[in-house]
Amino acid sequence: MKLEMGMDCPVSIEDERSIIAVLLRYATGIDTRDWNLFRTCFSEDFEAGHLQKPLAFEGII
């Protein structure tokens, strides 16, 4: 989303670039099945729920 001149930006340019970098790593990791790259998109204590079972990265990917 682009903001018009004079509008307050909700995030700094540096934050926006960091967010874009994570999104690119996420998509590239999935597309290329580079699971090590994919893991860099999340914190070490990340857990995801799947079918009501909490999952962690260890032993999953």
For 18-29, how does the pLDDT look when each residue is reduced to its tens digit (9 = 90+)? 999 999 999 999
Report the Cα 1 to chain-centroid distance in Å: 18
* pLDDT given at position 11: 82
- Residue 48 contacts residue 58 (beta carbons within 8 Å): no
Q: State pTM to two decimals.
A: 0.61
Whether the per-residue pLDDT at 3 is higher than 70: the answer is: no
* pLDDT given at position 18: 94
- Residue 39 contacts residue 60 (beta carbons within 8 Å): no
Percent with pLDDT over 90 in the chain: 46
The count of C-alpha atoms lying within 13 angstroms of the C-alpha of 2, restricted to the half-sphere facing its C-beta, is 2
In the chain, where are the structural domains located? Answer: 13-56
Phi, psi values for residue 16, rounded to 5° = -60, -45
